[in-house]
């Protein structure tokens, strides 16, 4: 399992004192505001940066980072992906990180038939969409209880597809 997870991207500056605006890639933006440290990736190494202040503003996260104290330093961070140590993120029991389910086998909950592997998760406001790579192509499954019945990091993702969902690929 990956130790450092992508949590967002710095998309702009905010003001002239070195604050940055980050687009969160978490379930909710508040996850980023609870972190004391974020990480920048430089040449394959993860560099810790202390978060001095964080708040949510219009679905974005405003960050004041240690050592970034003027507009020019903040502007230099635009488009940079930011990371968190998985151990620093508070999770509810039974929850998981998307990075941990990518690559899991997708199986029929009733028959155990393997349809393919989870290739990607696209996050939308209402629910996520799972992209399953099969032998014939890709199938999109809404990540809702009607279709996704069980997720186990050890056993895979168990689904109850509607008729034809995997036949027409």
Domain segments of the chain as ranges: 4-86, 98-159
Whole-number pLDDT of residue 141? 92
Cα 121 to its chain centre, rounded Å, is 9
What gap in Å lies between CA 121 and CA 128, rounded to an integer? 6
For residue 168, what pLDDT band results from cuts at 50, 70 and 90?
low
Distance CA 71, CA 81 (A): 18
What pTM value is reported for the model? 0.77
Q: Which residue do the tokens 């905010």 mark? A: 14
Mean pLDDT of 56-85: 95
If pLDDT is split at 50, 70 and 90, which confidence band does 132 have? very high
Q: What is the DSSP letter of 143?
A: -
Q: What is the pLDDT of residue 92?
A: 79
Among the CATH numbers 3.10.520.10, 2.20.25.90, 2.40.30.60, 3.30.465.10, which is that of 4-86? Answer: 2.40.30.60
CB 37 within 8 A of CB 50: yes
Domain 98-159 sits in CATH at: 2.30.30.240
- Judge whether 4-86 and 98-159 match in fold: no
Residue 169 has pLDDT above 60, yes or no: no
The yes-or-no verdict on residue 111 having pLDDT over 80 is: yes
């Amino acid at each position: 399992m990956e130790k450092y997870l992508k949590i967002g991207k710095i998309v702009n500056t905010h003001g002239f004192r070195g604050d940055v605006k980050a687009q969160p890639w978490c379930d909710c933006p508040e996850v980023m505001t609870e972190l004391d440290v974020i990480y920048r990736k430089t040449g394959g190494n993860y560099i810790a940066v202390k978060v001095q202040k964080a708040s949510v503003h219009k679905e974005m996260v405003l960050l004041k980072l240690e050592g970034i104290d003027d507009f020019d330093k903040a502007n230099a961070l635009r488009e940079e992906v930011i990371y968190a140590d998985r151990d620093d993120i508070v999770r509810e029991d039974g929850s998981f990180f998307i990075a941990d389910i990518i690559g899991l086998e997708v199986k029929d909950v009733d028959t155990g038939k393997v349809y393919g592997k989870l290739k990607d998760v696209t996050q939308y406001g209402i629910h996520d969409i799972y992209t399953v790579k099969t032998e014939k192509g890709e199938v999109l499954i809404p990540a809702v209880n009607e279709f996704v019945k069980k997720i186990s990091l050890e056993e895979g993702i168990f689904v109850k597809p509607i008729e034809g969902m995997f036949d027409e690929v």
